[in-house]
Structure 1
């Protein structure tokens, strides 16, 4: 099993096409096909199903792809760390960000790391908290923001903040950040909500269960952007973390207000793999992220957020 075979496998899986993979890898199409065929012969199992929608990995391939991504990531990181400039922290760091914090964190984090540690290459991944935790467990990412999580056997957690959920409505609803909205008011409107199984949906369902009103859910989606667009189009109200709508409310595209009766908060934490020591570039990015979140909360740029009890703790090596 060779690195070029694993690279071909992962690239085809990501783009769903041998032709596209060949272009990305700067090789001819038959070379990619040959690498996949050699892997299949070595392992004795088919790795892809060819469908009208493209190349679809088989269950056996999914197992190999997960481990191949981790191996390729570790090798990329090792190459970067072995060629640092004198006195410079260098390497590749993969960071998981919740979709709801992208607007408020992605650009400032990129700027902060580029300014303090120009030798570090950031790779930003977004997803639900459950997906990010899984990627962190398997080593596909180095650190991640997660929510409502404590230490696990494989992960060390640094609490960062607690934030309220907001009711989100079209601009003409006139919701205001300094005037909390009761759940009963929200439930009186059609609702656009995350799909069942989403962590945010679990918080929403728990809160509305104490209000004696049946919700009228008109749309469920797995996309926060789609939630906001459907609200803007007049299909109903929704519920989101404050950070996910701060820019839209400030720009007048939506209106929003903290929810009350009952109040609902979620905790945002920084998840790190349990290791005897953090690699220098990972520790540098973790510190930059922690500092940035603290600054945003303290300045009020992260609406309806307050520091967690131990949010001032800096990331440190976890016990093995």
Structure 2
């Protein structure tokens, strides 16, 4: 088993065609076919089903594709680290951002890393906390923002920010930042909610129980952008972190107010793998991300957010 075989395997799986894979790999088609066949003979199992729709990985093939993709990524990262430019930190760093924070942090993080460390190849992925934690555990992320999470046997969680959740309504509702809204009042409206099982939904359901409120959920979605679109269109109110709706409130498309009775907060942490060395490129990107968050909170660009330390988090617990 060699790198060329792994590249052929992954490329055929991605494009579904040996012919197209050969073009992308700058090889002749028989060479790619031979690499796949040799790999299948070595493993003793078929890796693809040959169908009219193209090459589809078998169950064993999909396992190999997933592992091969990760192995190739690690080799690419190692090459970037061991071939540094003079005096520069180099390497590939993949960062996970919560969807609600991406508008505030993504461009500024890219700019800061690009200025200070042009040799770092920065890659950004956005998602919900549960997905980001899974990607970190699987090695697809080097560091990521997560929320309401303590350190676990597999990851370190550094507390960064504690932020309040907000009631979000159409602009015509006239909600204001200086006039908190009781949870029971929010629950009296039709609600556009995160899908059940989502970590934010878990926080909201717990608040509903504490306030003895019954929520009338009209629609559930796993997209914050869709949540906001449906509220703008008049399908109901929703509940989101302030960082996710600051721009919408500023441009007048939504109105929002902090929740009260009870207050609902989430804590954002920086998650990193607990084991293994921390490459210099990962360390400098982590510092840049923490710096950007600190700046955003201190400049009040992050609504109702408070910087948090490990001692603060222990006190909250």
Q: TM-score, normalised by structure 1?
A: 0.87
Distance in 2 between residues matched to 1:122 and 1:106, nearest whole Å: 11
User: In the TM superposition, what is the alpha-carbon distance from 1:98 to its structure 2 partner?
Assistant: 1.1
Match of 1:204 in 2: 204
User: In the TM superposition, what is the alpha-carbon distance from 1:286 to its structure 2 partner?
Assistant: 0.6
Distance in 2 between residues matched to 1:162 and 1:109, nearest whole Å: 20
**Partner secondary structure for residue 209 of structure 1:** helix
Q: CA deviation digits over 1:171-190, x for unaligned, max 9?
A: 11111122211111111111
Distance in 1 between residues matched to 2:284 and 2:250, nearest whole Å: 32
User: In the TM superposition, what is the alpha-carbon distance from 1:3 to its structure 2 partner?
Assistant: 2.1
Distance in 2 between residues matched to 1:253 and 1:311, nearest whole Å: 38
Task: Say whether residues 1:306 and 2:303 are aligned partners.
Answer: no
The structure-2 alpha-carbon separation of the partners of 1:277 and 1:52, relative to structure 1 and needing over 3 Å to count, comes to: same
**Partner secondary structure for residue 175 of structure 1:** coil
User: In the TM superposition, what is the alpha-carbon distance from 1:41 to its structure 2 partner?
Assistant: 3.9
Match of 1:316 in 2: none
Match of 1:95 in 2: 95
Alignment gaps of 5+ in structure 1: 313-320
Q: CA deviation digits over 1:133-192, x for unaligned, max 9?
A: 121112111111111111111211211111111111111111112221111111111111
User: In the TM superposition, what is the alpha-carbon distance from 1:107 to its structure 2 partner?
Assistant: 0.6
Distance in 2 between residues matched to 1:182 and 1:81, nearest whole Å: 52
Alignment gaps of 5+ in structure 2: 313-317
How many residue pairs end up in the alignment?
312
Higher mean alpha-carbon deviation, 43-52 vs 279-288, is at: 43-52
Distance in 2 between residues matched to 1:77 and 1:136, nearest whole Å: 16
Map of 1:37-48 to 2, 5 A cutoff?
Answer: 37-48=37-48
User: In the TM superposition, what is the alpha-carbon distance from 1:50 to its structure 2 partner?
Assistant: 7.1
User: In the TM superposition, what is the alpha-carbon distance from 1:39 to its structure 2 partner?
Assistant: 3.7
Match of 1:72 in 2: 72
The structure-2 alpha-carbon separation of the partners of 1:244 and 1:30, relative to structure 1 and needing over 3 Å to count, comes to: farther
Q: Which has the larger radius of gyration?
A: 2
Distance in 2 between residues matched to 1:129 and 1:157, nearest whole Å: 13
Q: TM-score, normalised by structure 2?
A: 0.88
Cα RMSD, aligned residues only: 2.6
Distance in 2 between residues matched to 1:254 and 1:53, nearest whole Å: 46
